[in-house]
Structure formats: structure tokens, C-alpha cells
Amino acid sequence: METTQGILLNSHFINKMTVGGKTAWFTKEINESTGHKWRFKPDNSGVYEMFEEILLHPSVTGATGVPGMILWKFKGINKGKGSLMFELLPPGQSQVIETVIVNVEVA
């Protein structure tokens, strides 16, 4: 399993959200023709909430095999630190082949 670090909001290494304030988002490119699926796994920090998952399907362009995008939206609900974990699964399997972890701080 390969683990990589990701940037959620900016390139300054601190991914900040505010309680009841702005929302954070994270995107991953997807290509449904490969059968691979990304999934979000929450931690138990209680500092954020994932409130929307949007699939931007490539079929709206009419082009076959063009990658789409998946978008997760989060909001801060309590002050503290947490992490977001995203896992990539191969077709029909439950063994994770890639993990992306993004650390967040809610103020």
C-alpha cells in the first residue's frame, strides 16, 4: 500500500477550516472505464464533516474514456486537528492499492 500526503486547500502545508465557516474540498480524477473506485474514510476526530460528494461524470461531454472527477466537500464543526483519508480500490476487490492522507486543522 502506497501512502501519499495531499494538499487540501493551499500549498502552504496547513489545511485550515473554520467552525461554521468556509468549506473545504478535495478532488481526485477518475476514469470509470478502468473500474477503480476512490472512497473517503473519515477519522474519529470530530472536527469536520463531509457533507457532499459530487461525481462529475465524463459522459456529459460525449467523449468515451475521458476521465471524470470526484469532489468531496467538508465543513469544520469543532476546533482541533484531524485527517482525511482517501483510498483507491481496484475493480471488484477490497484491498486498497493507494492511500492519500490530508491533515486538517479546524480553528
Q: What pLDDT, on the 0 to 100 scale, is given for residue 5?
A: 42
Are 104 and 7 contacting, i.e. CB atoms less than 8 angstroms apart?
Answer: no
pTM flag (> 0.85)? no
Go through the domains of the chain in sequence order and give each one's CATH number: 2-106 (2.60.40.2020)
Q: Which residues of the chain have pLDDT under 70?
A: 1-16, 21-23, 32, 58-66
Q: How many CB atoms lie within 10 A of CB 45?
A: 14
